[in-house]
Structure formats: structure tokens, C-alpha cells
Chain A
Amino acid sequence: MAPKKEEEKKGAIEGWWKETIDKILHETGEHPHKALLGSYCVYPAARFITQQQDEEVVLLLRAHPIINVGWILLVILMLLAPGIVVSLGLFAAVPGKFVIVGKLTWYLVTLMYTMERFLYWFYSVFIVTNERIVDIDFENLLTRTITYANLNRIEEPAMITGGFIRSIFQYGDVYVTTASEKPSVEALGVPYPHKVVDIISRLSEELEKRRERGE
């Protein structure tokens, strides 16, 4: 009987969370969707490392795609460079086979640079679940930093936005300070920071209410 009761309790908690998340999303004018090339995902089906079984991803955020414009322009320039250099006759004295292999190497390096920048952007995510905030950052080739903050231990979530580009494209930085000695968790350049802060505050509030009720 005991495992059955345990299962019922678990089911009730899951049901409560689902209702609560739906309520919060409704109140904040949100619905499950992906926007801005996956940089703003509400209630996605995605999973992440160390995700617990009863944990639901409410928000999955990446830096706003506009942040990538700089390196995309550089890649375009890199793609055009060999054509320009060869047409200027700078390699006229170099045998054709060296020019071809040189060009191919250059394009491969360009592909590598593109992949690196894309991977850093795509896999550096800020996740808000029904229980905690998870910040996954990739600093270099193989270094991964994961920062957690439990929603019932956070102080005040804050956001910073401003500036011409940020105002136009509606993105900014979100900072969540925790009660522990650990530094704050931050999401830099994420879309709709006001909505993110709102959802985090409401989730934290619901968790606090539930704790007060002793559930």
C-alpha cells in the first residue's frame, strides 16, 4: 500500500505544479511556445543535465539572437576575403594547387569559427524550472559551468535593460541574488527580461505559499 500512497502523493504534487505553472503563465500573458530562434522558450519539452524527475522546465532562455549579428558579419567577411585577395592578384606568383588548398583551409577555419560561436550561443542557457534556476555556461572548449539557485532561497530577482538596441529588441540582463554566500545567478542579454523576472517572482511566491501551508 505504501508505494501506492507515495505514487498518489507524487501525482498530486505534479498536478498541483502543472496547475500552478498554467496559472502563472496565464497571469503573465504567456503560453507554451518558442520564439526568437529558440532564445525564448516557454514551457518547452527540453530536458537538461541533473534535471529531477518531478522538475518541469518553465522557461529556457538564450541570449537574444541579435547578439550574434557581429560575428555573423565577420563570417560573411571571412567568406568573401579569399575571392577579394585572389582577385587583387596578391597570390599571382603562387602555384594554383597551393591557392586551392589555402582557400579550402580558410573556408574550413571559417566553418570552425561559425560552429564555435553558434555552439557557445546555443548551449549557454538559463533555465527556470518549478523548483530552481539553472545557469549553464560554456567558457571555453570543454569547460562547463552550471550554477543553481533554489527558488525558495532567492532574494529579489532584478533586471537591467536600456540603451537603444536593447530597447528596440527588448532584451536585457536578469540577476537573481540568492540568500547563500554564492554569487548571484545571471542571464545576460535574454529576451523580455521583465517577463522573466515576473515569472521567477511568481514561481518563488507560489513555492513560499506552499511551504507555509506545510505541503
Chain B
Amino acid sequence: MENLANFLLGVTVFEVVKWFFVVGLVMYVAFGIVIVKQVGVMTEAVEDEFNGVVFILAWAHLLLAVGLLILAIVVL
């Protein structure tokens, strides 16, 4: 009990902010996956020469989100 109290008292504001960032970015990565799915649904509806670029953008966005999540865990 004392250990827990000491731990909680030792937690700084920025540590809390860090985990807010991490949780937020985990949700964001999930959203990035939804966007990739969404692009799949959209490109299936209309075939266009631009579809490939849209796919690359959606995947790039997801990879950036994953990269930022890792950065937040490592750097903060």
C-alpha cells in the first residue's frame, strides 16, 4: 500500500501526459487501419487511375501513425 502511494506521489504531470499521448496514438493507429479499409471500399466502388496513389497515401498515413506511436513511447 505504501509502495503504491509512493509510486503515485512520484508520478509527474508529464508522465501522465506521456500515457495520454500513447493511448491517444494507439486509438489513432486503429483509426488509420479503418482508413485503409475505407480506401479499399471506395476504390472498389469506382475504378480510377488515381486509386493506386490513394492506396499508397492511406498506407503511408498508417505507417506514420505507427512510427509516431513508437516515437512517443521511446522519446517521452
Interface residues of A (CB under 8 A from B): 38, 46-49, 60, 95, 97-98, 100-102, 104-105, 108-109, 111-112, 115-116, 119, 122-123, 125, 136, 138, 141-142, 144, 146
- Alpha-carbon gap, A24 to B48, bound state (A): 24
- Alpha-carbon gap, A104 to B54, bound state (A): 21
Q: Which of B21, B35, B39, B48 has the most CB of A within 10 A?
A: B48
> With A98-B76, A101-B72 in contact, is A123–B45 under 8 Å at CB?
yes
Determine if A142 and B37 form an interchain contact, defined as CB atoms under 8 angstroms apart: yes
Contacts of B44 in A (CB 8 A): 49
Determine if B45 and A47 form an interchain contact, defined as CB atoms under 8 angstroms apart: no
Chain A nearest CB: distance from B34 CB in Å?
A: 6
Contact partner of A48 (CB less than 8 A), chosen from B38, B46, B58, is: B46
Contacts of A146 in B (CB 8 A): 45
Scoring B residues 1 to 45 as 1 if CB is less than 8 Å from chain A, else 0, what string do you get?
000000000000010011001001100100110110111011111
> With A97-B75, A123-B46 in contact, is A108–B54 under 8 Å at CB?
no
Contacts of A142 in B (CB 8 A): 34, 37-38, 41
Cross-chain pair count, CB within 8 angstroms: 82
Task: Tally B residues with Cβ within 8 Å of A.
Answer: 34
Contacts of B18 in A (CB 8 A): 98
Determine if B21 and A105 form an interchain contact, defined as CB atoms under 8 angstroms apart: yes
Determine if A98 and B14 form an interchain contact, defined as CB atoms under 8 angstroms apart: yes
Other A-B contacts than A108-B68, A115-B61, A119-B38, 15 sampled, CB-CB below 8 A, are: A46-B46, A47-B47, A98-B76, A101-B76, A102-B21, A108-B65, A111-B61, A111-B64, A119-B39, A122-B50, A123-B43, A123-B45, A123-B46, A142-B38, A144-B41
Contact partner of B31 (CB less than 8 A), chosen from A38, A46, A47, A112, is: A112
> With A46-B46, A48-B47, A138-B42 in contact, is A104–B34 under 8 Å at CB?
no
> With A111-B61, A144-B45 in contact, is A98–B17 under 8 Å at CB?
yes
Contacts of A115 in B (CB 8 A): 35, 57-58, 61
Chain B nearest CB: distance from A98 CB in Å?
A: 7
